[in-house]
């Protein structure tokens, strides 16, 4: 939930969508020039699976509006299992812009760089928003697509096939993953918004025991502005089994977004909602929604 006065960050593709942690469902919006954005969320995913199968995570983001319709951010996240063991983490930075910004059509471009225990990853992406009314005032739909390039550790059998003359580390390889999310939002009342998302991914270089196409899950979000510059974001998601042996699980997350606007004259539309929405996909727990 956002507008020109503050903008959403870039954490999306949704909690537990694509089998990873990510922030709440929402559309992607840049920040005002000079605005500072801070986001913090926590939750759990994998609920309902066998003992030790769920994880507890937290994530944060600090964003800044560089110029009109161009923003940057730093992000970090950590996760443990439900025994508070096997901890892992990720940090990253990125930039995104809105080259097309109109009352009924927005196009956002994203470039994210991340580092985790699996190594570095680079993820370019695009989001297309169709809005029935300006400033997300009624309802709309959005499509997000990303191409994530990250390292994957190979199995011993795969590593044995790597010849030294290949000039590559036989224990790792680059794995391009195409990720897509479709979503709907409905502004049910002023400062109150409901969202529904579904996602999937295509592993372009799958290992022998990996499926090339995966349906990530379904997520529902409820975002509410409680102050001129503070928004609460809440989400529940369902990891739906698509293959024999896949478990059904549930994930939940809660968080908040706050924006500090630059000093100066008020926005031209002082009645517009002021808080931002969260957005973007990042990568690699389980392996950004």
Q: pLDDT tens, position by position, for the chain (289 residues)?
A: 544 333 443 343 333 333 343 445 677 788 889 999 999 999 999 887 765 578 999 999 999 999 999 999 999 999 998 888 889 999 999 999 999 999 999 999 999 999 998 889 999 999 999 999 998 899 999 999 999 998 765 544 444 444 445 544 545 677 899 999 999 999 999 999 999 999 999 988 777 777 788 888 899 999 999 988 899 999 999 988 877 777 888 999 999 999 888 765 444 444 443 334 444 333 333 333 3
130 Cβ contact partners less than 8 Å away, ≥ 6 residues apart: 104, 105, 140, 141, 142
**Residue labelled with tokens 């909602």:** 273
Smallest CA-to-CA distance from 216 within 233, 241, 195 is with: 241
Buried b (16+ CB within 10 A) or exposed e, 158-176: eeeebeeeeeeeeebbebe
**Entry field: residues in the chain:** 289
- Domain range for 72 is 17-160+168-260
7 domain residue, yes or no: no
Smallest CA-to-CA distance from 120 within 62, 175, 200 is with: 175
245 Cβ contact partners less than 8 Å away, ≥ 6 residues apart: none
Alpha-carbon distance of 136 to 93, in angstroms, equals 27
283 domain residue, yes or no: no
Q: What is the DSSP letter of 160?
A: H
57 domain residue, yes or no: yes
280 domain residue, yes or no: no
154-158 long-range Cβ contacts below 8 angstroms, 24+ apart? 154/207, 155/207, 155/208, 155/209, 157/208, 158/207, 158/208
What are 39's two structure tokens?
A: 């986001």
Backbone angles phi, psi at 159, to 5 degrees: -65, -35
Q: How many domains does the chain contain in total?
A: 1
Instruction: Reduce the DSSP state of residue 86 to 3 states and report it.
Output: coil
6 domain residue, yes or no: no
Alpha-carbon distance of 187 to 182, in angstroms, equals 17
Q: What is the pTM of this model?
A: 0.75
Helix, strand counts (H, E) of the chain: 1, 12
Alpha-carbon distance of 20 to 181, in angstroms, equals 13
CATH number for the domain harbouring residue 174? 2.40.128.130
Alpha-carbon distance of 141 to 27, in angstroms, equals 9
255 domain residue, yes or no: yes
What are 61's two structure tokens?
A: 């983001």
188 domain residue, yes or no: yes
287 domain residue, yes or no: no
Alpha-carbon distance of 212 to 254, in angstroms, equals 31
């Amino acid at each position: 939930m956002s507008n020109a006065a503050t903008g959403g960050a870039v954490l999306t593709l949704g909690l537990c969508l694509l089998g990873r942690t990510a922030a709440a469902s929402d559309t992607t919006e840049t920040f005002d020039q000079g605005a500072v954005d801070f986001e913090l969320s926590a939750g759990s995913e994998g609920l309902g699976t066998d003992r030790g199968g769920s994880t507890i995570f937290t994530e944060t983001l600090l964003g800044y509006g560089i110029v009109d319709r161009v923003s940057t951010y730093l992000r970090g996240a950590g996760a443990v299992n439900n025994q508070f063991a096997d901890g892992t983490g990720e940090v990253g930075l990125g930039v995104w812009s809105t080259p097309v910004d109109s009352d009924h059509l927005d196009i956002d471009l994203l470039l994210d760089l991340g580092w985790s225990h699996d190594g570095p990853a680079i993820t370019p992406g695009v989001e297309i928003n169709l809005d029935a009314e300006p400033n997300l005032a009624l309802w709309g739909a959005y499509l997000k697509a990303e191409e994530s390039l990250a390292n994957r550790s190979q199995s011993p059998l795969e590593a044995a096939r790597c010849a030294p003359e290949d000039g590559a580390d036989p224990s790792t390889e680059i794995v391009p993953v195409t990720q897509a999310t479709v979503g709907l939002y409905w502004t049910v009342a002023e400062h109150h918004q409901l969202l529904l998302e579904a996602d999937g991914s295509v592993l372009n270089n799958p290992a022998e025991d990996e499926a090339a196409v995966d349906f990530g899950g379904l997520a529902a979000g409820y975002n509410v502005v409680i102050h001129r510059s503070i928004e609460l974001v809440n989400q529940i998601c369902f990891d739906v089994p698509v293959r024999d042996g896949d478990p059904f699980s549930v994930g939940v997350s809660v968080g908040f977004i706050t924006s500090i606007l630059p000093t100066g004259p008020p926005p031209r539309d002082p009645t517009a909602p002021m808080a931002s929405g969260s957005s973007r996909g990042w990568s690699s727990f389980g392996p950004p929604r």
